[in-house]
Amino acid sequence: MRNKLIYLCLAISNILLLINYAFKDAFFLSRLVSYFLDYFLLVTLFLSIAAIVFIGKRAMLFGLLPGALFYSVVINIKQEEGKLHSLKGLPAFSVMTHSVMGRNNNYQPIQTIIIEKQPDILFLQEVTNINLLLTNNIQALYPFHESRLESGLLILSKYPLQREANFSNLLSVIADISGYKIRLSNVHSIKSISNYDRYQQYVRGLSEHFAVNSGPAIIAGDFNMTQYNEYYREMSNSYIDLCRFCKPTFPAPGRRIGSIYPVLRIDYIFTNIAGCKYNAETIIYDTTSDHYPVFANFCEG
């Protein structure tokens, strides 16, 4: 009975992994598996070990699947040549992205972390009350800002900004960092798991925008996708994910479940600036948002 149960659970887990691998984000079940693929892989690996212990080496074949999928989906991501830009002499600066939660009426902890970290460039999503967020202390830190408030997007900067053409859920500007022109794109993606058609339309628009505007860039925000999403792979072919091995960013204490532990990494900082040392982290703090921020130092040392 025990062996049959292990085989059944292992078979179901492997079938779900194969569905995700074969159909990618084509329908709801495969998207759901993609969102939690880390945990499906861990469960399958655990069941494979249990099968080997209790059933024998003939069950080892089941354990090869999660390892092969992990390699093909995560490790085997190759940077396309010619897509990166080397900016010699670019000074050190810092960037932070934070989704502050649209229904949040208490920005004080978020304001505190902004003042504590003082990133040179700050990407904010789900801003619904800009006057409540921008206290005198924060305005004093950031003399330049651009917003697309109908999409809840705000960029605060210590460097001059020039606004570009934008579309829904994207705010794009050019920052002048000591003479270097760098495009900053603030993204708040439509949820892929629940509205796939609109999500596909949105990411196609992003891809076209980034293809036309192909200079040095930093793209940050709430992408509502995990590293197993097809669009993540597309982004990773052309841009560096600065926080690829950082802690998950969602959910945070703004959602009740967030008091347990964040389980998904859906907030990112991407760049195509090469020849520069980076140091990035997810900042875990007592936030009132449902996301934790991601912070990155550029050109350290």
Q: Cα 230–78–291 angle (5° rounding)?
A: 50
Superfamily classification of domain 85-298:
Endonuclease/exonuclease/phosphatase (3.60.10.10)
* Helix 230-238 vs helix 196-212: crossing angle, to nearest 10: 10
Nearest residue to 272 (alpha-carbon basis) of 60, 63, 83: 83
Per-residue pLDDT of the chain (301 residues; tens, 9 = 90+): 667 776 677 677 777 777 776 667 767 777 777 777 777 677 777 767 766 666 665 555 555 555 555 555 555 555 554 578 888 889 999 999 999 998 888 999 999 999 999 999 999 999 999 988 999 999 999 999 999 989 999 999 999 999 987 778 899 999 999 999 999 999 999 887 777 788 888 888 888 888 887 799 999 999 999 888 888 888 988 899 999 889 999 999 886 665 667 889 999 999 999 888 899 999 999 999 999 999 999 987 6
Q: Is the dihedral of CA 172, 213, 227, 279 positive or negative?
A: negative
Angstrom distances, CA of residue 292 to CA of 62, 158, 289: 36, 22, 7
Q: Give 186's strand partners.
A: 171, 220
The pTM for the full model equals: 0.86
State the chain's maximal CA–CA distance in angstroms. Answer: 70
Residue 262: both structure tokens together: 């964040």
Domain locations along the chain: 2-75, 85-298
Q: In whole angstroms, what is the distance from residue 225 CA to residue 237 CA?
A: 16
